[in-house]
Amino acid sequence: MNDDLKTKKELIQELAGLKRRIVSPKKSAVKTDKRTSALERDDKPRYIFENVNDAMIYLDKKGFITEVNKEAVRIFGGLKEELVGSHFTNIGIFSPEDIPGLLSSIKTVLRGKHTNLNLRIKNKKQEIFFIECSASPMKTGGKIVGMIAIIRDVTERMRAEEALRESEEHYRLLVENATEGILVAQDRYVKFANPRIEEITSYSREELLSKPFLEFVHPDDREFVMDNQLKRLKGEPIPEAYEIRMINKYGETRWLKIGGVIITWEGKPASLNFVVDVTETKRLRELESRAQRLETAGQIAGQVAHDFNNLLAPLITYPEFVRRDLSKNHPALPYLKDIEKAAHKIADINQQLLTLGRRGHYNLVPLNLNDVIGETLNELKPFPNTLVIETELAGDLLNIKAGRAQIHRVLSNMINNARDATQDIGRIVIKTENFYAENVAVAYGRVPRGEYVKLTISDTGHGISEGIIQKIFDPFFTTKTADKKRGSGLGLSVVDSVVKDHFGFLDLRSKVGEGTSFFFYFPITRENIDDRVSGQIMGGNESVLVVDDDDIQRKVSLKILASLGYTVTTVESGEKALELLRQKPHDLLFLDMIMTPGIDGTETLRQALEINPLQKAIIISGFAETERVQEALKLGAGAFIRKPITIKKMAAAIRKELDKKEEIFVF
């Protein structure tokens, strides 16, 4: 109760029908004494009147109190003598919003009818309380002579109800604003869903309540959900929380973590479920797990590939020497060709292993992706007439900084995968475009804000099922049969590794029966493309020191260099090379990068330059840490050759380095 409550004077003025007939309290009291004499003469009514739990007040037609009981005195305060004979407006201050109803009720009673009303009053003790009032007319000889009001103090009940309303409002706010989804299921239907459930499922509350809840559950998880619900209703133990898949309104699969309890809803058992969307969490965990698997597989693959590279050297190089000693129609020539072909295929797979291990080295140079796409498609031709290859290549495509061979490998793997998906019947679309990303979310992370060249490779094949799509980038995972060329299971693992090595991002979208699209985002570069000079097979007569810890590799290098006319010396370590250089200078060092347990190629070159500041060198390796290779190149190494080496690669690199003129400054 506050200052808005009306005073006695204001209320009397509003009782327009009564205010002109108000008389003094003394005269009214005298008259009412006669009317209440019957109550005084009969002890039983008096006893009931005084001891009833409700307050009772008798009033005359003018609104003056003629009698009150003990409960009325308790409620309204003061003394009985103060109340009897006074106008009813003296009992307290009425709430302004209650006055219209009070006036209407008085008129109703004076017309001879019963009425009920609720009032809020501030009594003489300044206490605010709520009352329920039941008022009826009093008649004598058929004429209305007054009113009787039976009043019940409902303050405690009203306060309890108010507290309950506040409590319910608090809980409502908690439920409506909860970050968890809250759902009540009963008899296979959703009975209640909070706004978070609507956000998770993309369905409105009306849509959720209109269908059996199993319709929102992934078909493969429905039996599991029903079993858990039945066990919970029977009181059987089930996991506190479990994960299921649901299909949202847009057909997307979401992973939900659900926990719940049994409650009573509208008199019947129901399950109260607490739902958390864990789709993103599972995706991040899968990415972390995949990264760990890739790292482990890469370490193994890198070491194996390094050993293979040394063993491949004679398989790739010696057939050419053997061919020189045979006649043009010798029956062994086809066998040599098959050996070379097989060796190059093994070398290609080996390079994929190195890439997977993130240990393969390649220089990132400016290139135009459209050019590499054209080269790759020409190499893969011919295509069958049942397969349409479409290209949508942006004419103003910006350059990217990349390793040409690695981008070529990505394109080859992706196009071959698309051919397998379509079974060479359908359409493959290759599209390039300049793309500006605004922190784009993709399936395997986010593409930070920036400028990219976006490559899209789409096919109309059979698509990838949800169970497979999470595994396609795992090393050695394949759905192809073992007799196919591309069934090693390295393709997409290598693609993933190459994209990461180029600081790029990968995304995909696939639907079974409708095809698959892969999206690649490569950061652009403003650097221009340098003119490329192709290597030529040319020899010389300079001295070359081959430094390699692998015996087979030393023999292959010796054979190649000697055939080109060079004077060749071989040693198995950097330490022995330095010892020899102190005794006899060599025109060129042919340095292996990794030579355990001794010093590596970079350190050998650094110390060799202390002996001869003009020392020329070339670095070779099957793999290398990029930092060490770059350091060797900064020291002055003329080139880096990746194993397995060939005559053409070795001849071109050596000749280019030896023919390079040194700048001599004369002071």
What span, in angstroms and rounded, lies between the C-alpha atoms of 86 and 67? 10
Q: Single out the residue of 588, 569, 600 nearest to residue 653, CA to CA.
A: 588
Question: SS3 letters for 470-495?
Answer: CCCCCCCCCCCCCCCCCCCCCHHHHH
The per-residue pLDDT for range 531-576, each reduced to its tens digit, is 444 445 678 889 999 999 888 888 888 988 988 899 999 999 999 9
What three-state secondary structure class fits 332?
Answer: coil
What span, in angstroms and rounded, lies between the C-alpha atoms of 146 and 188? 62
What span, in angstroms and rounded, lies between the C-alpha atoms of 189 and 211? 6
What span, in angstroms and rounded, lies between the C-alpha atoms of 297 and 356? 8
Q: Single out the residue of 41, 228, 65 nearest to residue 149, CA to CA.
A: 65
CATH class of 365-525: alpha beta
| pLDDT at 338 (0 to 100) | 85
Of all helices (H) and strands (E), which one includes residue 419? helix 404-422
Tokens linked to 51: 């001891």
Enumerate residues 6+ apart whose C-beta is below 8 A from 331: none
| pLDDT at 536 (0 to 100) | 52
The per-residue pLDDT for range 190-207, each reduced to its tens digit, is 888 888 888 888 888 888
Tokens linked to 333: 């020539």
CA dihedral of residues 416, 417, 421, 427 (deg, nearest 10): -50
| pLDDT at 515 (0 to 100) | 92
Q: Single out the residue of 86, 63, 81 nearest to residue 16, CA to CA.
A: 63
Residue 449: how many other CB atoms lie within 10 Å: 10
What span, in angstroms and rounded, lies between the C-alpha atoms of 526 and 512? 40
- In the block, which residue shows the tokens 């290759």? 430
Residue 495 backbone zone (phi > 0: left; psi -120 to 50: alpha; other: beta)? alpha
Tokens linked to 561: 């260099």
| pLDDT at 21 (0 to 100) | 39
What span, in angstroms and rounded, lies between the C-alpha atoms of 233 and 224? 14
- Whether 543-658 and 8-159 are alike in CATH topology: the answer is no
| pLDDT at 480 (0 to 100) | 60
| Arithmetic mean of pLDDT over the chain | 79
| pLDDT at 535 (0 to 100) | 44
Helices (H), 202-278: 205-209, 222-234
| pLDDT at 475 (0 to 100) | 57
Query: What is the C-alpha R_g of the chain?
Result: 47
| pLDDT at 546 (0 to 100) | 94
> Is the CB of residue 98 less than 8 Å from the CB of residue 70?
no
> Is the CB of residue 462 less than 8 Å from the CB of residue 280?
no
CATH class of 8-159: alpha beta
Widest CA span in the chain: 152
Q: Single out the residue of 394, 439, 448, 388 nearest to residue 418, CA to CA.
A: 388
| pLDDT at 429 (0 to 100) | 95
Domain extent listing, the chain: 8-159, 178-277, 288-350, 365-525, 543-658
What span, in angstroms and rounded, lies between the C-alpha atoms of 185 and 262? 10
| pLDDT at 356 (0 to 100) | 58
Enumerate residues 6+ apart whose C-beta is below 8 A from 237: 231
Residues forming a β-bridge with 233 = none
What span, in angstroms and rounded, lies between the C-alpha atoms of 482 and 4? 90
Q: Single out the residue of 574, 533, 537 nearest to residue 650, CA to CA.
A: 537
Average pLDDT over residues 363-385: 88
Residue 99 clears pLDDT 70, i.e. is over it: yes
Q: Single out the residue of 546, 622, 564 nearest to residue 312, CA to CA.
A: 622
Of all helices (H) and strands (E), which one includes residue 370? helix 369-380
Where residue 459 falls among pLDDT bands split at 50, 70, 90? very high
Could you say which of 3.30.450.20, 3.10.20.740, 1.10.3720.10, 3.40.50.11540 is the CATH number of the domain covering 178-277?
Answer: 3.30.450.20
DSSP state of 174: H
Of all helices (H) and strands (E), which one includes residue 245? strand 241-247
The per-residue pLDDT for range 145-187, each reduced to its tens digit, is 888 888 888 888 887 777 777 776 766 777 777 778 888 888 8
> Is the CB of residue 560 less than 8 Å from the CB of residue 645?
yes
Residues forming a β-bridge with 524 = 400
The per-residue pLDDT for range 289-322, each reduced to its tens digit, is 666 666 666 666 666 666 677 777 788 788 878 8
The domain made up of 543-658 has a fold known as Rossmann fold (3.40.50)
The per-residue pLDDT for range 465-519, each reduced to its tens digit, is 776 776 676 655 566 644 444 444 456 777 887 888 888 888 888 888 889 999 9
Distances (CA, A) of 4 to 82, 90, 103, 120, 227: 25, 17, 18, 12, 61
Is the torsion defined by CA of 496, 498, 503, 506 positive or negative? negative
